[in-house]
Chain A
Amino acid sequence: MTGTRLTSRDFADYLEIVAAWVLAILWISPLLYAIWAAFHSSHHAINFELLSPLTLDNFREAMSQAPFLRYGLNTFILVSMLLTAQLIVCTLAAYAFARFDFRGSEIAFALVLVQLMITPEILIVENYGTLAKLGFVDTITGIGLPYMASAFGIFLLRQTFKSTPKELEEAARLEGCGLFGILFRVYIPLARPTYLAYGLVSISHHWNNFLWPLVITNSVETRPLTVGLGVFGAPESGVDWSIISAATLLSVAPLLIAFLLFQRQFVQSFMYAGIK
């Protein structure tokens, strides 16, 4: 009896392995197809001729039709500027919430958390008006401004700072550290995993963000990759598939390569950020 039960379990195990692989192949195939199409002429891509000759023409063509290098630079500036601002603003706010029991801190924290639900993309109409008044329409700073105070970042860092042992702070104070000395010598070094996780989540989110950048930008000098790709890929414009695939790959390549290289860190960061 036990013997048959074991074999049926073994059979189920095999079935599960096969299912896992079939699903994996199914899941990755749209992306693999796009990569394959980008390196083949659109005639071959549409007719699905697997062994047709490779070509880089699609990339050349895509680059000549739209300034993807410039878009890429814009995205890079946006993401690095935004992350720097987020880290500074969120660290200071989280430090306040974690270690200064100031009057009104609970209400203030609740008001911060509102942004977890009401994210800036929902308020595009009013925020556009505000940035127009401030003169930030069609600037990279304008894309970043509404996201610089990130409730998510404040929340994550506050949790981390709160779990830092108070004795370390006392020790640093006895050594003569002031408020910022304690922050830089004790809290920030111990929160490195949180900074890494938040950084990766923020970079992937803003590299991929589309709606707000679309609303606030209207020139080549400010458009990030996603908006450039959205403008490029408009179905009416009649560009062919392989060129669209090449343009799509150009837009996602930096982040995708970073992800493939640091897969473990990415997955763990998303997990860590989700669990907190």
Chain B
Amino acid sequence: MSRANMRHVYGWLLLMPAAILLVAFTHYPTIATIIDSFFSKGNPVRPSRFIGLDNYRLMTDDPIFWKVLANNMWFAIGTIPTSIALAIAMALMVNKALPGRSLVRMAYFTPTILPMIAVANIWLFFYTPDIGLIDQVAGLFGFSGHNWLGDPDTVLPAIIIMTIWKEAGFFMIFYLAALQQIPPELAEAARLEGASRWYYFRRVLFPLLMPTTLFVLINAVLNSFKLVDHLFVLTKGGPDNASNLLLYYIFESAFSYFDTTYAATLTVVLLGLLAFMALAQFFVLDRRVHYR
């Protein structure tokens, strides 16, 4: 074989370890999940058989499925815009000359380095009725204790606030990186023109940060679907599924109720949502962002 043709062989040989692992743990399970969702759950007496869309019918009739999907949406709406706004504010403040700047930056970033499970443990104490920190502070102002995580109306907001605390600092560093790329002459020019800070931010900085915002947005949406660790410590999805999220429901279906085909069906929905986001990113956002 000629030297030029050897590159095909070398290329594939070098890729082989990664390819085997990726096929085994990403591509094969993705396809197997989709196939499983069309089959009934087998047991020693009755083997699993093809049942078409029955699992999907079961799913659309399942009120918990819709509840969990709605929760995921509210969780995303509750966490993402606020985290992004805070992240921009943090980045702007830390990007300037500020006494103790590295300490401030460290304070913002530290929650990011903690595992979600530890964050949940810390916040669990704040939310505990009566003896928790929030109720104690509220008690000073004459409010009575409240079971923040036990009340279906407050459990999701409580988790949202905790998630914002954990994520804002992570998004901040991407804005910080973007801000460092923006030439300082722009701010100087705006200042000479007499533009107010707010005007400069709205008309100059924010548009320039748009690519970062979209990058962060995609990551934040993905995270809102993938990160459910806190539920294990804080609520187990309760009360009455008020804080349950799709991935946690998949875990419950598979490993608590041992209904693997239903878990597969739910996973297909999650895969569909992720695929939709991937396509949106490649075809819509990428085009609109790189106008520069």
Contacts and interface: CB of A to CB of B under 8 A. Distances in A.
Interface string B97-132: 011101111111111111111101111111000010
Contacts of B278: 117
A193 interface: no
A44 B15 CA distance: 58
A235 interface: yes
Contacts of B116: 208, 210
Interface string B251-269: 1001100001001100100
Contacts of A16: 93, 96
A195 B29 CA distance: 29
B25 A96 contact: no
A30 B102 contact: no
Contacts of A31: 110-111, 114, 122
A247 B215 CA distance: 35
Interface stretch (A53-61, A66-74, A164-172, A267-275): A267-275
Given A30-B122, A146-B25, A123 B30 contact: yes
B182 interface: no
A208 B114 contact: yes
A124 B12 CA distance: 28
Nearest to A179: B10
A125 B254 contact: yes
A162 to B, nearest CB: 14
B232 interface: yes
Interface in B169-219: 169-170, 173-174, 176-177, 197, 215
Given A123-B26, A235-B124, A260-B106, 12 more contacts: A24-B107, A92-B15, A96-B12, A151-B22, A214-B232, A225-B115, A230-B232, A233-B117, A241-B125, A245-B122, A251-B117, A255-B113
Closest 6 CB pairs of A and B: A102-B11, A126-B29, A208-B115, A100-B11, A149-B21, A96-B14
8 contacts: A21-B104, A30-B126, A93-B18, A96-B14, A100-B7, A117-B277, A210-B232, A251-B118
